[in-house]
Structure 1
Amino acid sequence: MASEPGRLGEGRQHGAERLSVAPALLRDALIILSGLLAGTSVVAVALSALRPELGWDFIAWPVLCAAVIFALVLGGLSGHPFDRFGHANLVTAFRASLVSLLGACIFCFDDLAADRTALLALVGVVLFALTLDGFDGYLARRQGQESDFGARFDMEVDALLILILSAAAALLEKAGLWVVMIGLMRYAFVLAARYEPRLNGRLPPSFRRKLVCVLQIVALCLLLVPFVVPPVSTIVALSALLLLSYSFAVDIHYLLRPQVLTP
């Protein structure tokens, strides 16, 4: 499980960072990501056939989203320290496909709030993705393939999932527009780090950070459940936002603390 969005992944980098991508790694990644992109397209087309009212944008949205994610992954392969893409990254890439399809369902389904079956199905997809989130880290550790590349990939997929779910909470009127701050906080942190270099520093491993990430996804998933409505949904969303704000505040304080110089 990656840390909650906002910080560099906690995986260890093995070996020196590469300046070029090994042909075997590139070929492996292309085969895996192309297959997942094709699978995403097939699922999108099948769902669109079952629900024609979704329109062509339902097909285009997840395919383009997954394609952009996978293109960024390929662009970052020079920092991947192994000769194979790895099973852990395969699981993370599969989660990226699920998140892309989830986003399409949320943003392209006009009557989603009135379709209890669809909402419960989305809850199931989110819980499945959350389960896989712990599995990819387990695979990386078991196979000795932990890396900053894999941790960052995992973190970015988590960040996108949280952004999509927070937007869904607003669209479903489970809370005010402020709930989107949960998904935007990580990106605001990244933007702030461009102007304050100290925010790019490495943070020590933290169970609190991982736990907060899980709780954010669980809370936002709960907001998809049809019978969770205001004021209960508002309290859940506000609690998640306050918890995330606290976690970010702790880490920002750590990164901006005065450095103690030793003689």
Structure 2
Amino acid sequence: MALNNTYDARLQQETAVGAGVQILLLALLGPAIGMGVAGWLSGLAFAFATWAVLSRALHRSALRSFGPANRVTLGRATLVGGVTALVADSFQSTPPVTLLVGLTAVALLLDGVDGKVARRTGTCSTLGARFDMEVDAFLILVLSVYVSTLLGPWVLLIGAMRYAFVAAAHFAPWLNAPLPPSFARKTVAAVQGIALLIAGSSLLPHPAELTVVLAALGSLVWSFGRDVAWLWRHGRISAAEMAVEPDSAPAGTVQAKVLELAAR
């Protein structure tokens, strides 16, 4: 018990340091750009929420070390917190586009680094993968909010689609079944951040930015549609087939996962 408490204390120290770095970044950005109340509140809220959620997840996990990959992801989360503050502040004053694009670009460039670090150091974990995914999703949401002020509210569909999928899974448990790995899915996800970054930079003519973001949205709709169709075929149908012999579903398969969810 004492050893577990020691590990937990070390993990909590890591999250506290992350929150501290986030606040330090805000302290540097605030005076430099004359950040308003909205920016400060959004940045601080992001720092507190990240610390609280991550601390709780680590406490419930079996991890004994935070690990180098999670440190990279935490660094990305710090950058995303800065982007969040800048986007919130943009509703009150002209945003520093160069700074916004710079922070976003670094966060996007680091998006595959944590995974590579985890594989090379043998520190892959379910929590780390989920942490990485949530940071990515929130960055896309924040960017879509910013770009929506330039191109129109329809851009919010890009940031909201993943959260809508998660909400739908509460009413349709078959959507929670695991999906097979897909390079196309990863590519489409990466395209969203790049497209929003291009549009947010305002370097291209308006029609070109519109085309880029529309293409990104179209690819995202295709990707989610393909995954939902796969889950429908291999989730609901497989569950119905296995209902006659529920004990015959091999552990770890889609059928077993669906049957487990249906039993809850």
With structure 2 as the length reference, what TM-score do the two structures score?
Answer: 0.83
* Identical-residue share of aligned pairs (%): 36
Aligned to 1:76, the other structure's residue is in SS state: helix
The match for 1:204 among 151, 162, 180 is 180
Are residues 1:103 and 2:81 paired?
Answer: no
Structure having the higher helix fraction is: 2
Q: Kindly indicate whether the alpha-carbon contact (under 8 Å) linking 1:198 and 1:255 is maintained by their aligned counterparts in 2.
A: yes
What is the aligned partner in structure 2 of residue 75 from structure 1?
56
> 1:216 Cα shift?
0.7
Counterpart CA distance in 2 for 1:41 and 1:195 is: 38
What is the aligned partner in structure 2 of residue 89 from structure 1?
70
Are residues 1:161 and 2:122 paired?
Answer: no
> 1:222 Cα shift?
0.5
The match for 1:190 among 162, 166, 185 is 166
Are residues 1:31 and 2:9 paired?
Answer: no
- How many residue pairs are counted as aligned between the two chains? 236
What amino acid does structure 1 have at the position aligned with 2:135?
Answer: V
Aligned to 1:22, the other structure's residue is in SS state: helix
With structure 1 as the length reference, what TM-score do the two structures score?
Answer: 0.84
What is the aligned partner in structure 1 of residue 192 from structure 2?
216
Which 5+ residue runs of structure 2 have no aligned equivalent? 249-264
Counterpart CA distance in 2 for 1:76 and 1:47 is: 29
Q: 1:181 to 1:202 in 2, by over 3 A?
A: same
Counterpart CA distance in 2 for 1:210 and 1:66 is: 27
Q: 1:25 to 1:207 in 2, by over 3 A?
A: farther
> 1:89 Cα shift?
0.8
Which 5+ residue runs of structure 1 have no aligned equivalent? 1-20
Q: Kindly indicate whether the alpha-carbon contact (under 8 Å) linking 2:179 and 2:227 is maintained by their aligned counterparts in 1.
A: yes
> 1:57 Cα shift?
3.5
What amino acid does structure 2 have at the position aligned with 1:166?
Answer: S
Counterpart CA distance in 1 for 2:161 and 2:174 is: 17
What is the aligned partner in structure 2 of residue 8 from structure 1?
none
CA deviations 1:197-230 (Å, max 9, x no partner) are 1000001111111111111110011011123242
What amino acid does structure 2 have at the position aligned with 1:133?
Answer: D
Counterpart CA distance in 2 for 1:121 and 1:57 is: 17
What is the aligned partner in structure 2 of residue 17 from structure 1?
none
Q: How does 1:16-55 map to 2 (within 5 A)?
A: 22-52=4-34, 54-55=35-36
> 1:28 Cα shift?
2.3
Q: Which has the higher contact order (CA 8 A, sep 6+)?
A: 1
Counterpart CA distance in 2 for 1:155 and 1:214 is: 12
Query: What root-mean-square deviation, in Å, do the aligned CA atoms of Structure 1 and Structure 2 show?
Result: 1.9
Counterpart CA distance in 2 for 1:246 and 1:199 is: 16
CA deviations 1:206-256 (Å, max 9, x no partner) are 111111111111001101112324221111111111100100011111111
The match for 1:139 among 104, 109, 117 is 117
Counterpart CA distance in 2 for 1:121 and 1:78 is: 35
> 1:46 Cα shift?
2.2
